[in-house]
Structure 1
Amino acid sequence: MSSQVEIHVVDSVSDIPAVQWDALTQGNPFVAHAFVSALHDSQCASAQTGWQPRYLLLREDGALTGAMPLYLKTHSRGEYVFDHAWADAFQRHGLRYYPKLVSAVPFSPVTGPRLLAATHTARVLLARGAIALAQQLEVSSIHVLFSHEADLQALTEAGYMLREGVQFHWENAAYTSFDTFLALMNHDKRKKIRQDRRRVADAGVSFRWLRGAEIDAGTLGFFYECYANTYREHWNPPYLSEAFFFQLHATMPDAIMLVLAERDGERLACALNVIAGDTMYGRYWGTRAFISGLHFETCYMQGIEYCIENQLASFEGGAQGVHKMSRGLLPTATWSAHWIAEPQFAEAIARFLGRETAVMEQHMGELEAHTPFKRAQGLPE
C-alpha cells in the first residue's frame, strides 16, 4: 500500500518538536532547531528584516520525513551569493525580481543541508515543492545557497541550475602541534606567519579560548560589543542582535567557542566560532583597537591552533578571502542552485552560469597552483 505524502508550509519551527526537526539535520548546527529558533525568536530573521519564513514540511503518513528552510525575501542582503546583477536586469526589462524565495541560513555563508531528508526521493519532492510554492506566490525565482553535496543531484533533477563559488577551508593533516603545521608551509609563508604572530605578542596581546559554560554573560556581552562595532565602522547596522547570541549560548552552549584577546588584563578583541562534530566554523569578530596582525591572529591562527590541540578535522574560515591562503586555508568549491520562473531570463542566466563556471574552474586551478605548502610535504626546503 502506498504512503500518503503531503507538503505544507509553516512560518515557524516553534510548533515542530526539536527532536523531530533535528533528526533531519545531519548534525549541522546552522539548521538545528535551536539555531533557527534563536534567529526567529530574536526577530533577526523575520518579515520585518526581509526574511519571512516559508518553511516546507514533508510528511509521509503523518510523520515528518523532510523539511526545507525557505524564506520570502525582499532584498539580497545577508546571503553572500550575489545576484544584484540579475535583479538589475529584471528591473531594466520592467520585471519584478523581489520578492524571491531563498533557502539559506540567514547571515551565515556555511555549506550544509538545505533539503533536510534522508532519501533522494524526499529531497526531490522538497525541491519540486519549493517550485510549486514559487508558482503559487508568483515570485521571480528560488535560490538555494551553500547547498550540501547530497542536495545537488536532487536540485538538478528538479530543474534548478547550479552556480559554483569558492571559500577557503583548513584541513587537519593529523598535525601534532602548530609547529608541525608551520613546518609544512613554504619558507615565505611560514616566515610571514611567525612575524605576524610575534608582532601581536610584542604588542602585549595574549589569548584565551572559552567554550560553553566557560563563557559568562560579561564575556559574551563584550563579544557583541566588538561584533556590533565592526558593523558600525562600515556604516551598517549589525545583522544579528545581542538577544540572538545570548539565546544561542543558552540553548547550544557547547557549539560556541570564543577566542578572547587581552592586553594588560583588559579585553581587546574577540572572535566567535561554532563547533559541531569535528568541524569548526569561523563566524564573527570585532575589536576595540587596531593592532597590526590582530585580525588574522584572532580569527585564523588561534582557530587553527585550537583545532590542532583539540583534534578537529577542519576549520571553515567564512566567506571569500584569497588572502586566507597565506594562512594555510585552501580553496574549496561551494555550490548554490537557482530556479528562474521567467523562461527567457532562465535561458539567459543558464548561459551566464555556463560562462561563469568555466571561469571559476580556471580560477580554482590557478589558486590550487599557488598552494602555501611545500610541494613535497614533509621534505625540508
Structure 2
Amino acid sequence: MVEAMDQTGRLYHTPRAWVRFGGIFVAATIASGLIYMAARYRMTGEVSDAPLVVLVTLNAIVVYCSAWLIAPRLGQTLDHLPHPAEASTQAWLERVIFGRGTLLMSCAWGAMIACGLFALKPLGPDQQDWLAAYRAVFGAAEHLQAMTMTAPQTPAAPPDALPDFVANLFPDPLLAKLLALFVFSGNLIIGAAIAFIGRFWWTVLKRLDDIDLRILNLSREPLPALLRTNSLVVTITALVSSLSILALILAGFAFELTAMVFSLSSMMLVVATYAVPILPLSNRLREVKSAELNAVEQRIEAILRTRSGLPQRADGPLTGPNGEVLPPETLGELSDLLETRKIIHDIQTLPPGGQVSVSAAGIVTFLSFLPTLIDFILKNQGG
C-alpha cells in the first residue's frame, strides 16, 4: 500500500480497492493492447492504429496514478466536513474514491465505449483515399451516363461503400473482437473515475450548507483543500478527455456524428467537473458576503443617522433590546467601516479560490484545444 501525507500532517492512503481493482484494469489494458497489436501485425502487416492503443493505455495509467495525488487532498477536505455516523476520515475517503457501484459503473462505461467505437465506422488513411477516389469515379460515370442518355450496364454501387479490391479494416472478425476487448479494458478505470466524480459531487453538495465559510478568512479549511482537490480533478479530467479525442484523431477515425458527440460529451464532462462544485460554493460565498456587507452597512447607516439627527431604526445596531439608544461610539470609526465595506465588496466569490481556480481554468482551456491544435498541424503537414 502506498501512503501519502497531506499538508496538515495527517496520514491518508489510497484505498485498497482502488489499488487492487485499478491495477487489474491497467494490467488488462496493457495485455489486451499488446495482444491486439500483435494479432493485427500478423494478419495485416501494419499497425496503423498504434496511436489509439498507446493513448488509451496512457489514459488508463494516468487515471490510475491520479488517485495517489487526489487521496491526501480529498482526505484533508473530508476531515473538515461533518462525517457520516461512525465513520473515520479514511473510511469515508475509501467509500468516496471506490465505493458501492464502482465495478458496475466500470463495466457499463467500458461496454458503452467499446460498442460506440464501431459506430464511428473507422477508416484507415489508405481506405479513405480509396473511398474518395471511388466516389469521384462513380460520380463522373453517373454524369457521363446522364449526358449520353445511356443506361448503365451494371447496377449502381452505393457511393458510401468501398470497392471489393480495397482491404477491409478488419480482415478477420478476431481483430474486431480483440479491439473491442482492448477498448473495454481501457475504459474500465475511466468508468471507476467517473463514479468517483459523481460521489465527490454528491459529498460536497450535500454538506455545502454545513461548511463554515467566512468571507474575510477564505484560507480557513476546508475551502482551500476543497479547491485544490477540485482543481486537480478538473485538470486530470481535461487531460484524459484530450488524450481520448487525440487518440481518435491520430488513429484516422472518420469524424462523423458519433465522434462529434463523443468529443462534445467529453468537453461537457470537463466543464461540469469544474462547475458543479464551484458554482454552488460561489453562491454560498455570495450569501456570506452579502450578510457581512449588511452588518457593516447597518453600522454605517446608524452612524450617519446619528450625525444627521435622524431616529435610529428599530432593528439597527444602536437600538438596545429594550428600545434604548446605545452610544454611537460602540460602532467604531466611520472611516474604518467604509474601508471594511470596500474590502468585503472587492472580495471575489467566482472563482472562490482566486488564483488557484484561475490557473486550473487556464490549464483546462489549453488541454481542451490541444487535440484540435495537433489535428490542424498534422493536416497542414500532410498538405
Structure 2-normalised TM-score?
0.23
- Structure with bigger RCO (C-alpha 8 Å, 6+ apart): 2
Q: More helix per residue: 1 or 2?
A: 2
> How high is the TM-score relative to the length of structure 1?
0.23
Which structure shows the higher strand fraction? 1
- Point out the structure with max Rg over C-alpha: 2
